[in-house]
A and B are shown apart, each in its own frame.
Chain A
Amino acid sequence: MAMDGFINDIKFGVRMLIKSPVMSAIAILAFSLGIGLTTTVFSIVNGAMYKGLPFDDADRVVSVWRVNPERDIERGGVSLYDFVEYRDQNSTLESFGLWNQGAVNLVGADDKPERYEGAMVTANMFDILRVAPVLGRGFLPEEEEPGADPVMILGYEVWQEKYDGSPDVIGMTVRTNGESRTIVGVAPEGFKFPIEADMWAPMEINPLENDRVDGPQAPGFGRLKPGVSIDHAAADLATIGMRLEQEYPEANEGFAPIVEPFTKFTIGDELFALLFTMLGAALGVLLIGCANVANLLFARAAVREKEVAVRSAIGAKRKQIIRQLLVEVGVLSAIGGAIGVLIGVVGVAWFNRSIATNPPPFWMTFDLDARVLMFAIAVSLVAAVAAGLFPALRATGKGLNVALNEEGRGGSTGLRMGRVTSIIVIGEVAVSCGLLIAAGLMIKSVAQLRTIDMPFAIESIFTARLNLPDTDYPDADARTDFYREFLQRLQTTPGVEAATLSDGLPARGNGMRTFEIEGGEYPTERDYPRAREGIVTPGYFETFQAAVLEGRAFQFADSKDNMPVALVNRSFVREYFDDGEGIGKRFRIHQGEDVYEWMTVVGVVPDMRMEGIGNNNESPAGYYVAVEQFAEILGNTVSVGVRATGDPGAMATRVRETLATMDPNLPVYDAMTMQAVIDDATWFYRVFGTLFMAFGFAALFLAAIGLYGVMSFSVSQRRREMGIRMALGAQDGLLVRFAMRRGLRQLAIGVVLGIGLAALATRPLQIILYEVDARDPVIFGGVVLALALVGVLATYIPARRVSQIHPAEALQTS
């Protein structure tokens, strides 16, 4: 019976929708935008935080880290010694393992080297995760023992792409990072544990061959025993940790293990805050949409008072009428929700496209899954209730005999509803103001990114990376020889105008190191300054067409047999040399116990974004040293920079060919133009900035419609009063001011509240703002002005219109 009534309510709701197409269209638009943006953002939050690992009983898979607050170690690895102790002594983990992800140069049967992400894992990885290889087998326990035959498991995607999915791959021998390994299995499709690995090899568990203090460490992971909570496991491991700290203080003092859901380490506190600020912003848009619909319903409730009274008179209970009114809004929100889901589909597709160059961990997939759809349905329902309940309560709260007998005594309804609509308008303006300020900050941030000063060549530059495996290049001399030779061959490669090798690229963010200036006083280790460090070959500044401001650039003569030299950037001079002169000054790397030779500054170069893009408040001060002189701190991986005479995008093949002439086993990877590097470095700002801009524009649009609608309604409810004032001789200007006064007061209160809201809510946005303060006064002021303008127009137009009508007409208005 109740269902029967419900169906009737729906039928009537659809009829009302058709009867008032403009009102329905506005309501549906408001719901669509709000639900669409909320669904899009929730899809992102869902993918990043709620989906978790796509494995059986994945909630029981945990990460184990070691923390040391005194040493600022938030998530440190577990040493092999400790791993064995934790593994053997704990009573809460079903199984416990280690992982370490790193780059792998793979040379298969085709002799074509390719670069992949790989992971060294303990042999029990598949057991812990409850995943079985689709082909071959997993690792055997003995394969993590020292001296075991080297084996590996291929990722499904690599198996398909490189080996065409051939089952013959099992037993095949390949070279990874210069070492031969036998493929023993293929992982299932989509499996990229721990983050985005394409292949896996067993980690050698040989604690006794390593130093307890400085030996290798790796993040731990395990599966909780059934019924064991994370807290319980944490307490269990903490007990073992305390014992280890007492027994081996030199290695474990200050360290304690932590246990957390496996996926948590990829979402830092700031990103967590950002995601929920985004969700809050989207809900803010939805709230504005609901406020608009509520105001429309208040207006309609005034017109339908008698209908409601009649329904009540013939025996409808209040809850039945409220249900019917809510169902009417529900019809609107259901349509809005359906369109919102479509907006979500488009939004998520856009988001996936935007992050394609920076894929997230493998378990983070962004789509509209069942949870998101349930969320969209729930949001649609809540939106319908939020928008419809209060108007429905008001519409049904009037005395029946009054409503039934009232013959349109114009004006009374508007006054009764006035306070409620005022509160809604003020709230709407406040939320819009907050969202607009957030959007304004984003717009400024994105604009800053577009106009960012890059004092180096971008358009003609090709970049790539290469990694020299220890097996083939065991020491700094071998690597230096290789770099020298490769650079010379590169420089003579057709199409290359200039070339360089370095540890990093401009705007990508160089690493930091502590140092000391000659003559400086540093009482404690903490007093040594830190600056960005670039390890580059000769030709670096020439390649990037960055003018050396003073002195000279590096030369091939700057070898390890000659005096160590350095170049410093302008900010370094400003920060560390009081006289403003850099040339001839000396400083040296002072990293803990590692103290290097004094280096003499031989040149001053421009600031080339060594701090990277987006590290607000980070000093750009940095120095450069020569690869030949500091090869031991360079490591195995270098970036290649080539200034091309033609299209830089076409240089990949030539660079590969040149490299192959020296070492056919080395792959070139991350091959891209410098423009792509810059885009890559700024994607975070662009993507999240664009999202917030969408929120802001949606908010402004809805707020403008809402303000206009409410003011129109409010003024139309006072036509009779206006008529009386006209009849008494009030002039147009006076009437307009009178009609606008209330609206402007609401606008002012809303803006003041909105500024307060924005001051609180925009703080988490700082991490996605590029060189913009989250409390930028220009943006705050601009938004206030923009809202004031929209608000004044939204109140002026209806006020002006009503002041233009004939007094007699206004007096007859009922």
Chain B
Amino acid sequence: MENGNALIRLEGIQKIFLTDEMETHALEDIYLEIRDGEFAEVMGPSGCGKSTLLSLIGLLDTPTDGNYWLDGEPVADLSASERAEVRNKHIGFIFQAFNLIGDLTVFENVELPLIYGGVAAGDRREKAHRALERVGMSHRMDHYPSQLSGGQRQRVAAARAVVGDPLILLADEPTGNLDSTNGEAVMNLLKDLHAEGSTILMVTHDPRYSAYAERTIHLFDGRITDEETAQVEVELAQVDIEREQAAV
């Protein structure tokens, strides 16, 4: 798929957490571009800052320093309310723990971003139906999340993420809580969404799913390391896993 202009651009992003008068540098000097239509993944060991990076890109948190452009607009210094509006209109989230609201039905969960976005009831219904059909979950729309399997929940989460036609999908360990079969299915779903034009940035530490992404960004101790080296490391890790599986 042909990738377009820079959808996300980070320049000199820094994130420092202050706890008990101690500074923790979660991210240091991050320069990154994600282009329109790209399927990128962020890999790295636990605690390297992957989720923090995704939170900053998803405007769930603000950087301590640096600049961030989303679709050409500076968004690093937006107010909480403005950030919420950008999240609602331009960003879709898929979380490791699904984060569906247990007291809402599948349909209501998917419809929720549209309610916050002020979409009229008729449009909402149509878009939510379409999103559920897109992930193959329209037949379960009156169910509650607790009545679904893990894979199904993640599909619903994906439907909720895409229902507002966001500029980018941010997936934080989307297979982390799934078995391999369901994990595979969710990754295929992401692949399909990407094929349909979605820009995806995924955080994972599972090398099995690296192949789905076009590009891997390696993070270590809060810094992006060389992407090509990282790619080689991923491929070697993949070979190791395949060898182990073959031995078993």
Contacts and interface: CB of A to CB of B under 8 A. Distances in A.
A1 B117 CA distance: 10
B60 A314 contact: no
Given A15-B103, A306-B99, A314-B112, A400 B60 contact: yes
A513 to B, nearest CB: 77
B120 A313 contact: no
A313 B121 contact: no
Interface in A314-342: 314-320
B87 A311 contact: no
A396 B75 CA distance: 21
Contact of A317 (B91, B116, B164): B116
A480 interface: no
B51 A317 contact: no
A8 interface: yes
Nearest to A11: B108
Interface stretch (B30-38, B78-86, B131-139): B78-86
A309 B172 CA distance: 15
B3 to A, nearest CB: 26
A312 interface: yes
A315 B95 contact: no
Interface in B131-189: 160, 164
Contact of A316 (B58, B61, B88, B121): B88
A401 B100 CA distance: 15
B195 interface: no
Contacts of A320: 116
A1 B103 CA distance: 22
B112 A311 contact: yes
A15 B52 CA distance: 34
Contacts of B61: 399-401
Q: Which of B95, B99, B103, B160 counts the most A-chain CB atoms under 10 A from its CB?
A: B99
B55 interface: yes
A234 interface: no
A407 interface: yes
B87 A315 contact: yes
A16 interface: yes
Given A399-B61, A401-B55, A316 B116 contact: yes
Contact of B87 (A5, A314, A318): A314
Given A306-B99, A314-B112, A315-B117, A404 B104 contact: no
A563 to B, nearest CB: 93
B88 A314 contact: yes
A318 B51 contact: no
Nearest to B163: A314
Contact of B99 (A4, A313, A399): A313
A288 B116 CA distance: 34
B4 interface: no
A12 interface: yes
A310 interface: yes
A637 B92 CA distance: 90
Interface in A255-314: 306-307, 309-314
A311 B55 contact: no
Given A400-B55, A401-B55, A314 B116 contact: yes
Interface string B111-124: 01101111011000
Contacts of A4: 115, 120-121
A312 B99 CA distance: 12
A19 interface: yes
Interface string B60-98: 110000000000000000001100110111010101010
Contacts of B52: 401
B236 interface: no
Is the interface on chain A under 10, 10 to 19, 20 to 34, or 35 or more residues?
Answer: 20 to 34
Given A316-B84, A317-B84, A311 B58 contact: no
A96 B143 CA distance: 76
Contacts of A5: 115-116, 118
Contacts of A309: 99
Contacts of B81: 317-319
B101 interface: yes
A396 to B, nearest CB: 10
B115 A307 contact: no
B194 to A, nearest CB: 20
A401 to B, nearest CB: 4
A1 B160 contact: no
A655 B140 CA distance: 87
A471 interface: no
A107 to B, nearest CB: 76
A562 interface: no
Given A4-B115, A401-B60, A404-B60, A314 B51 contact: no
A399 B91 CA distance: 18
A311 B113 CA distance: 8
A524 interface: no
Interface in A437-491: none
Given A307-B101, A405-B51, A314 B93 contact: yes
Contacts of A1: 118, 120
Contacts of A405: 51
A302 to B, nearest CB: 16
Nearest to B105: A15
Nearest to A312: B84
Given A401-B60, A407-B97, A314 B160 contact: yes
A404 B95 contact: yes
B80 A315 contact: no
B116 A310 contact: no
A313 B93 contact: yes
A416 to B, nearest CB: 14
Nearest to B92: A314
Contact of A313 (B60, B102, B103): B60
Contacts of B84: 312, 315-318
B36 to A, nearest CB: 21
Contacts of B164: 315
A247 B9 CA distance: 95
A317 B60 contact: no
Contacts of A313: 58, 60, 87, 93, 99
Contacts of B100: 310
8 contacts: A2-B118, A5-B116, A5-B118, A311-B116, A314-B112, A315-B85, A317-B84, A405-B51
Interface of A: 1-2, 4-5, 8, 12, 15-16, 19, 306-307, 309-320, 399-401, 404-405, 407
